[in-house]
A and B are shown apart, each in its own frame.
Chain A
């Protein structure tokens, strides 16, 4: 497997250094402990938002640090949660006196390390709330598993909660809107190829040339079922069916449709997915009034995509439209 890297041990440090250099108008990076923070942090009187998790999902989370979204992002090693120390340091760096919200994807390692960090930050007198995202409908039996995973919906939670913090909402309000977005978004993904963790050097699972994996997470972990490759429209039908089954949508509902690439699928294919997803939703009387199409929460070089559908209300729509200035999302400013 060919990769454009130096020593596999330095992948994250070197990538963050490049990211900070490229976007020095928006962020600065602390190298030890490692985190990415808004250049203007802490913003006095406003809630700071920290997210993080294993690296390999870029632009998540560092690409979402900036005005109107995250205060800081804490990248762990590839596909491995960061430890509590850098999470605590990032929490302190964004605390402008109004408290800090942690947005955590529901993966066991992320949850355990962020929990520990929140305890430590609270012991230092910082008010911390945590919202755990779990929008992945691929996990059917969440009672007997570690629960639904936090995947594509996390991007939407970070944008909308970030806008609420930027307009000056209090900590409890920012946490409440983050919970509301998480409760109203559902996601399902597909992999066409596995991905290769740099220090492992081998694919995390194998797929035949004509096989795809339905219901993947964002770490190359196997999903719900393995089937033969089908045309894009049939795959979109398979991804949307469990989303619509899981979450009754009423006719006339306005939604945000997010078609996300897993890193190795070109935009030309993502737009084919988007086109058919809009059609399927329209047949159910669901109107796509906002959208996001592109590679925003990836799994290294994996080919594949996820579809997220968020039921919008007026406030969420207004916060989605609010100005944002980050490396990966930028509008209105």
Chain B
């Protein structure tokens, strides 16, 4: 749709959602802290090719299992590879998998939820029952099964995580849709002859965005962990590509001689997950009317 054909309300709808989001950020300062930590990690991971002091794949057997030093800030692994450089590169995989999978889940799940809520009736029943069934699997077990069946690689990892999270987004998007669809301005849209798609994704969507974004940041945190777990089990991206889960698994085998491999890589996972949880938790408190007056 071109900008010219947009009605003023349509543009202000999205604008309103964005200003609301900024306001929400300011209501709860912890979400700023979370966002800043997350951005720092993201920038470090993105700049890995330029700022990593060593090649993450370069083996140097002479320097194997070195403790942290000036040359190797966080020590080396059993192949003499620099742990800090591998953490930076591993962060790229972690962030890519989690952001992609949650992005897909957000779009697909959000759309399903809006359609279910807006259409109601049998369509609603079918979509939501399917979601309930998917929801009943533990995320990790479902992820394990899907990767095991489809094969372990980057794409399947993303699909597996997205599949387990889609139902959560569908549920969260459905509730506000049901509440909003009876309002006068939606009725007015119908009277003007707007298509269902236009009503759903232009007029209802801004009402759903807030809660979906909160859920997205919280579930990105979970996705980071699931990716790490699957790599830890050996179902993630294959070595020698550095992944945090894979590095922890390898480090665990040398826990007596070289605990730094586990400790620092685990710390990286923890900080990333914590920052996303801070972000999501702060946003949730800020948009929850029950907690707003705290």
The finding on whether chains A and B are genuine partners in a shared complex, rather than unrelated, reads: no
